[in-house]
Structure 1
Amino acid sequence: MSDLGANLRAAREAAGVSLSAMAARTHYSKPLLGLLENGKRALKPVHVTAYARALNVSVETLYGPPEDPLRVAHEWLVADTPAEVHSTAGRRVGATLASRLEDRVIELRHLDDVIGGRDLFPLVHKELTSAQGVVKDASYTERTGRRLLTVVGELAQLAGWVASDAGHYTEAERVYLSGVSAARDAGDRALAGQLLSSLSYQIANVGNPADAALLARSAVVGTQDQTTPVVRTLLLERMAWASARARDHDGTQRALDAVDDAYEQRSAGAEEPEWVYWLDRKEIEVMAGRCLIELGDPLAAEPLLSGAIAVYTPEHAREVALYQTWLAESYARAGMFDAARDTITRARKTAQGVNSTRLDLRIGTVESLLTT
C-alpha cells in the first residue's frame, strides 16, 4: 500500500496541487492525506476514487501495475457481477453462468490472502447478494441448481470470514448460517461442516469457547463420512482451537493428534475442494503453537511459530503479522519481554496498510500484556 500512496502523491505533485488544495477538493483533512500518501494509514478504494476525481485522472493511472490487489478489489466493486449481468438478459440460467460464478468464488477467495476484511467485505457481500438473487428468481435444471447453491454456500463462508476479520460479528454469524442452509440444499455436507466450523472459530475468539467447542465437534461428527482428508484436517483444527480456548487440555491434545492423523491420509490422487488450498503443514504448526500458548506452554510454541513465519512471502502481510503477534505472545508469557517487544514491533510494521480489525485487536491484546 505504500507504493499506492506514493502514486497518489506523485499524481498530486504532477498536477501542481498542494496538500491543502487537495484537502479542499476531496474534503479529507490535510493530515489524513499526508498519512495516506506516506503509507502510514490504510488506503481504501474510496480514497483512490477521490484523488482521481480531484485530479481529473483515471483510477488506473493511480493504481499503477494491474496486479495491485486493492486495484483488483476496486474494479470488482464498481463492475457488475455475472449474476447482475444475467438479470438483465433473462431468467433462465445455464451451466455457463454457474461456471463463471464458481470461478469468481475462487478469485475472491485468493484475494482474501492479500486484502484485509474491511476492504474485501463489501465486494464479497455484493457477490453473495447477487448469487442469492439468481437462486431465488431464476430458473435452472436440478444439476445447475445444486451448483448455484454450492456457490452461495461458498460465498457465504467467505463473506462470514471477511466480515469477522472486519469485526462485523453479528453479520458474520448471519451469513454463515444462511450458507449452511444453501450447502445442505445442495447436498454438500462437507461445505456445511466448513461453515459451522468457521462460525465455531469466531465464537471461540469472541464468544463462549465452550459453545464453540460443541459446535466444532458437531461439524466434525456431522460430516464424518463425507469429508476428504484435508477437509477433515481443517474441521479438526477448529475443534482443537475451540478446545484450547475452553481450557480443555485433553480435548485439545486429542484433536491435535487427530489433525496429524487426518493430514497424513491425504494423497495426490484424492481430489480436495478448492477452499482448503491454503491448509498445509506450516498452517498446522501455527495452530498447534497457538493451542500450546492457550494451554500454558509458550516455549514449546515458539519454534512452531518461528518456522512458519520464516517461509511466508511478504504479500501475505496479514497472516505474517498475525503469526508474529502469537510469537510475541509466546515470548511474553515465557517472561522474555525484550523479545516480545521486538516481535510485536515487527508485527505492527508488517500490519501497516492491512485493513483488518482482527489483526488490530491481536496487536492491541499482545501490547497490553507488555504494559501490565
Structure 2
Amino acid sequence: MEDHGRLPPSPPSGDLGNQLRAAREAAGHSLATMAALTHFSKPYLGHVETGHRYPTPDVVDRYEQVLGVPIGIPHDPVRTAHEWLCGNQPPAGQTPRNGRRLGTAQLRRLEARVIELRHRDDVVGSRELLPVVRGELDAVCRLADEAVYTDRLGVRLHTVIAELAQLVGWIASDAGHYRHAEQAYLTGAAAADTAGDRVLGGQLLSSLAYQITNVGKREDGLLIAKTAVVGAADATPVARALLLERLAWAAARCHDPDTCRRTLDAVDDAYDQRSPGISEPEWVYWLNRAEIDVMAARCRIQLGQPTHAEPLLIHALAGYNPDHVREVGLYQTWLAEGYARTGNHDAARHILDHIDTSAVDAGSIRLQRRIDAVTRLTATGSH
C-alpha cells in the first residue's frame, strides 16, 4: 500500500509558521505574491504557514529578506527536548499529492550526497558550504512534501532530512548564525521523530545543546544534553560516546565537576564497547580516541585543571590531519589557553601566532571567537 509520507510534527501554538504568515499579512502580501517573491511554490508556503511543513532556515531567510523584518525562533528548546523525551509530539498529518514517485535509486543518491557533504565540512569553509547544504535541505524537504513514496522509503527520506538539518545547524553555528542553526536543529529533530529514529533525534538535540552551552544559557544546554542522552537509550557505543561527550562539556561549562568527571568516565566506557560487529551511524565517523582526549582536555581547562590538559592536546594535535585546518586551529586555541592558565603566556602567544587562520577567512566565526578569547586572556595575564 502506498503512503504519501508522514509530515513532521506540527509545531505548537505561536509556531514559526504562524509568525511567517503574520509577517506576510502585515506587509500586505498575498500567499501567491509571497511565492513569487521568494521563489517557493504557493502550495509549499501554504503548508509551511499552516504548520504542515516545518519551516527550513532557507524559507525563514527569504521571508526576512523580502519583508525586511526579523522572524523569531518558534520554540522553547528545553520544552521541545522534554516533549521529544516524553514522546508527546502531536500526530503527523498526511496531505494527498500527485507528485512523482520517489524511487530507491534516487533515495540512494540523496543518502550518498549527505555523506559527501558531511565529509566536505572537514575541509571546506562555512561561507562556501553553508548555502550549498541549506539548498540541499530545502530541496529534500520539498521532495518530502510533494513526492509519493512507501512507508519504508519515507523513513529513509526523513532520515536524510534530519541528517542534512544537523549538518546545516553545525555549519551555521560555526559561521555564527545561531538562530538559523537552532531552526535547523529543530527541523532535524522533527524529521528524525517522523523517521522513528530516537538516536538521530538525540544527535540533533545534543548538537543544539552544544551550541546553547557555548553561546546561550548554559543551564538550558546542560538540561537538553541530559535529555538527549536519556532519550537515545538505544544508541550504539560510539554514538552514545558522542552524546555523552557533549553532556560532559555542558557540565564543565556549568562548573559541575562531579557530573563532568562521571560523564567522561562513561564516554570511555561507551567507546571501549565498540565492535566491528556493531554498525555505527555514519555521522560518528570522525569520533576517535584523539577526539575524546581533546574533549577531556577542554573539560579539564574549563574546570581549572589546565596542567592535566596539555599532554592530551599535544598528543592529539601531533596525529591530526593538517588538512582539517579549522579543527587544528580550534584545538591549538585550547592548548594556548591551557598554557595561559598555568601562567606560561609566552608559550600561549607562540601557539596563537602560529595558528592557520584560513578557516577564519573562510567563515569560521567559532575559530575567530576562540582566538579572540585566548588573546584577551594572554594580554591581561589572567590565570
State the TM-score, normalizing by the size of structure 2. 0.72
1:349 Cα deviation (Å)? 5.0
Instruction: Give how far 1:355 is off.
Output: 2.6
- Which residue identity lines up with residue 304 of structure 1 in the other structure? L
Other structure's SS at 2:379 match: coil
1:98 maps to 2:111: no
In structure 2, give the amino acid aligned to 1:302. Answer: E
Residues 1:346 and 2:354 are matched in the alignment = yes
Q: Is the 8 A contact 1:121 1:163 kept in 2?
A: yes
Q: Is the 8 A contact 1:256 1:288 kept in 2?
A: yes
Q: CA deviation at 1:135?
A: 0.4
User: For residues 51-81 of structure 1, what are the alpha-carbon distances to aligned partners after superposition, in whole Å with 9 as ceiling and x for unaligned?
Assistant: xxxxxxxxxxxxxxxxxxxxxxxxxxxxxxx
For residues 17-61 of structure 1, the C-alpha deviation after alignment (integer angstroms, 9 at most, x for no partner) is xxxxxxxxxxxxxxxxxxxxxxxxxxxxxxxxxxxxxxxxxxxxx
Report matched runs for 1:1-372 at 5 Å: 91-224=100-233, 226-349=234-357, 351=359, 353-372=361-380
By how many angstroms is 1:121 displaced?
0.7
Q: Give the secondary structure class of the aligned counterpart of 2:321.
A: coil
Q: Amino acid of the residue matched to residue 181 of structure 1?
A: A
What stretches of structure 2 of length at least 5 have no aligned partner?
Answer: 1-98
Q: Contact 1:321/1:350 (CA < 8 Å) preserved in 2?
A: no
CA contact 2:125–2:359 (8 Å) conserved in 1: no
Q: Deviations over 1:248-304 (max 9, x none)?
A: 010100110000000000001110010000000000000000000000001100111
What's the offset of the Cα at 1:158? 0.3
Runs of 4+ with deviation above 3 angstroms = 348-354
Which protein has greater RCO, CA pairs closer than 8 Å, 6+ apart? 2
Structure with greater proportional helix content: 1
- Note the C-alpha offset of 1:354: 3.9
CA distance in 2, matches of 1:282, 1:245: 21
Tell me if structure 2 keeps the 8 A contact 1:116–1:165.
no
Contact 1:147 1:186 (8 Å CA) reproduced: yes
Q: Distance in 2 between matches of 1:352 and 1:144?
A: 39
Q: Specify whether residues 142 and 183 from structure 1 end up closer, same or farther in structure 2 by C-alpha distance, changes over 3 A only.
A: same
In the alignment, structure 1 segments of 5+ residues that lack a partner are 1-89
Distance 1:350 1:289 in 2: 25
CA contact (8 A) 2:340 2:348 kept: yes
Report Cα offsets for 1:293-331 as digits up to 9, x if no partner.
Answer: 000001100111111111112211111000000000000
TM-score calculated relative to the size of structure 1: 0.75
RMSD (Å), alpha carbons: 1.3
SS at match of 2:109: helix
d(CA) in 2 for partners of 1:351 and 1:95? 37
Query: Is 1:317–1:354's contact at 8 Å kept on the other side of the alignment?
Result: no
Larger deviation, residues 340-349 vs 330-339: 340-349
- CA separation in 2, counterparts of 1:351 and 1:176? 23
Contact 1:285-1:308 at 8 Å conserved across structures: yes
Q: Counterparts of 1:306 and 1:243 in 2: how far apart (Å)?
A: 24
In structure 2, distance between residues paired with 1:351 and 1:108:
17
Percent identity of paired positions between Structure 1 and Structure 2: 59
Tell me the SS of whatever aligns to 1:238. Answer: helix
- The residue matched to 2:355 in structure 1 has which SS? helix
